[in-house]
Structure 1
Amino acid sequence: MKALVCDEPGRLSLVSRPEPVRGEGEVLVRIRNVGVCGTDFHIFAGKHPFLEYPRVMGHELSGTVEEAPVGSSLEKGEPVYIVPYLSCGNCQACRKGLTNACRNIRVLGVHCDGGMAEYVCVPERNVVPTGSIALEDAAMIEFLAIGAHGVKRGNLGAQDRVLITGSGPIGMSAIIFAKARGAHVTVMDTREDRLAFAVEQLGADEILIAGDQAESEAERRTDGEWYDVVIDATGNAAPMQRGFNFLNHGARYVLLSVVRQDITFADPEFHKREATLFASRNAQPDDFAEVVRQMEAGRVPTRALNTHRGRLEDGARLFSEWSRPEAGAIKAILEV
């Protein structure tokens, strides 16, 4: 089979590998579409801290069933998407249903080879029929589920005034699911093109430029009451710390981002607000199901989100092109 391998930072190769052999309880999936994630660009750039090269990237995956276990409800040729978090099922987190926070988790394309290839084998529980969702759209379910999970963690409702910081793909997914819950959403970023997209395509209510006057402007707009929920999707420690400045009394702060540095905040300010801080890691099965429901309801602008497409065979060239900010990629998809 063909596979796109990141041999080392900055170098991709299209290689021929043996097709994987399905193990007990596994499904062999013929990959059709692979969404390219910020994680993939970090791997390509050599910025991922927990990865060994060479690596086949790719964890936003859709395809068709090639072979399933005897007695499986899955049928050959059935369109499916893949949940890329391979949890152990035995640790304390898994026993509590927190498979997204499994102590022994392996993520396809990061801890083990992923789906930038013609075939992949995964446990049957990680393979889900797409239903009425088109295969190219199903390759976007995983990144959207990240936002859906963060919104669920923040327990957003129609009564909430929400600030989402960072308008990359993950921030956009948070906007979509915050709006699906009826919240009033303000988006803060430095990129005016992304902010315009958030309003025009995703239904964000307001934008806020992340400049020196952001706090004073937010205070003015909210009559000094700030935001009930803040969701950070910047992936940068400085704005993650800055997000504490925008919390209302009793507010919830959800960190979709993760960085290697320590994050600090003023304890007296946090304490007097009786605020709550949430980590949000990966996504759970019900988050994936929520994405599918919102897609089927027409509330996810998949065509607008999928800005770039290309073939797996051209991946080495396309990665270099798509990784440039001026390329304007929101979600790029490789067709296999």
Structure 2
Amino acid sequence: MSGTQLMSAAVLRELRGPITVEQRPRPVPGPGQALIRVRAAGLCHTDLHLATGEAIAPPLPIVLGHEIAGEVAEVGPGVDAPVGQRVLAYYYDGCGRCAWCVGGMENLCAAPNAKWGFDTDGGLAEYFLTAARCLVPIAEQVSFAEAAVLGCSGTTAVRVVRAVAEVARGEVVVVIGAGGVGLAVTQVAVAEGATVFAVDPHEPSRAQAIRYGATAAVDPRAADPVAAVLAATGGRGCDVVIDTVGNEHTPGQAVRMTRPRGRVVLVGYTDKPAALDVLEVVVRETILRGSVGATLADARAVMAMAAAGRIRACVAGEYPLGGVDEALRRLAEGSVVGRLVVVP
């Protein structure tokens, strides 16, 4: 180990346990790989699920963090990315051989090489090792914090709005949840020419959704969101519901607020049973879809949108590596409007 360079990393060693900063050997890039000096790593509710083992149980110990932006520090053989280049690291390295990967849908690959921050060490560290093919350049006018946040919430939004929900100009879209993903979905849907209604119990989140282009925002604690949407659409119902929350109640609400043959897309999830009346789905001919993650093409698309000022990241605060536990605590409380970012 003589001469080995070290780095600081935030390590999770047990589910629901503390995330502690440790010294680890700095990775050395091999063929086709790039070492990134991490400048910002976003946190989202997926990280909370991983840290607690709710719905997703990661291998332990692990360095979480799948929203990663920084600079190329070193490259391995066969990589031409320039050292110092500002990049977003797309977090899913598919096998590259299956029909899904060949078709550009790496997010559906059943045997990926790595899902950074899920099954392989992620970006809550000073340095991060990735496949060079997963790098997306960041424009100078986009900050590292913004790029990191959009690397998850923005890419997810681009995929769900364009590829899965297939939102068309003039449609009415209800976005359940105005957290990081919900706010990004709102912006992308507005950019596609839709009229957006947001549903969220927190006033600051509803206000942010309005600032990002939502026509109205409903507090589900004060009013029945299904009745509110039906009233706003003259009893017709909306064309699309995108559920970014995914608790026990929201899928059923989503079906009831859509028009016949409307589309309901589930993005959020829970490990608890959800109340969904199958008969309602059948008699309405509701089109029910799921949406998971995003593709490399989606990552490139959202970085282009950010460079053009067509989508903004809502960065709610920054923490050092030693503050990951505190940041996750805030996420669990539901008090965060947008996303929190760790700056190693």
Q: TM-score, normalised by structure 2?
A: 0.89
CA drift of 1:16 comes to 0.5
When the two chains are superposed, the root-mean-square deviation of aligned CA atoms in Å is 2.1
CA drift of 1:142 comes to 1.6
Maintained 8 Å contact 1:321/1:327: no
1:2 — aligned with what?
A: 8
CA drift of 1:163 comes to 0.7
Matching of residue 24 in structure 1 with residue 31 in structure 2: yes
2:315 — aligned with what?
A: 306
CA drift of 1:68 comes to 2.0
Matching of residue 134 in structure 1 with residue 156 in structure 2: no
CA drift of 1:299 comes to 2.6
CA drift of 1:79 comes to 0.9
Maintained 8 Å contact 2:240/2:262: yes
Is the partner of 2:281 in helix, strand or coil?
A: helix
Is the partner of 1:77 in helix, strand or coil?
A: coil
CA drift of 1:21 comes to 2.2
Q: Deviations along 1:200-246, whole A, 9 cap, x unmatched?
A: x3111111222463222222221110000110001313212221111
Q: Which of residues 205, 219, 232 is equivalent to 1:221?
A: 232
Matching of residue 256 in structure 1 with residue 279 in structure 2: no
> Is the alpha carbon distance of 1:292 and 1:70 closer, same or farther for their aligned partners in structure 2, counting shifts above 3 Å?
same
Maintained 8 Å contact 1:11/1:316: no
Gaps of 5+ in 2: 1-6
Alignment of 1:259-298 (within 5 A): 259-261=270-272, 263=274, 265-298=276-309
Is the partner of 1:17 in helix, strand or coil?
A: strand
1:166 — aligned with what?
A: 177
Q: Give the stretch that moved more between structures: 189-198 or 57-66.
A: 189-198
Matching of residue 203 in structure 1 with residue 210 in structure 2: no
Q: Deviations along 1:113-170, whole A, 9 cap, x unmatched?
A: 1111111211111112213332222112222111111101111122201111111111
> Is the alpha carbon distance of 1:328 and 1:268 closer, same or farther for their aligned partners in structure 2, counting shifts above 3 Å?
closer
Equivalent-residue separation in structure 1 for 2:215 and 2:254 (angstroms): 19
The one-letter amino acid of 1:32's match is R
2:3 — aligned with what?
A: none
Maintained 8 Å contact 2:155/2:294: yes
Equivalent-residue separation in structure 1 for 2:118 and 2:87 (angstroms): 21
CA drift of 1:267 comes to 3.9
The one-letter amino acid of 2:214's match is A
Matching of residue 231 in structure 1 with residue 239 in structure 2: no
The one-letter amino acid of 1:167's match is A
Q: Which of residues 44, 53, 58 is equivalent to 1:51?
A: 58
1:14 — aligned with what?
A: 21
Equivalent-residue separation in structure 2 for 1:329 and 1:198 (angstroms): 10
Matching of residue 65 in structure 1 with residue 76 in structure 2: no
CA drift of 1:291 comes to 1.2
Q: Percent identity?
A: 28
CA drift of 1:7 comes to 2.1
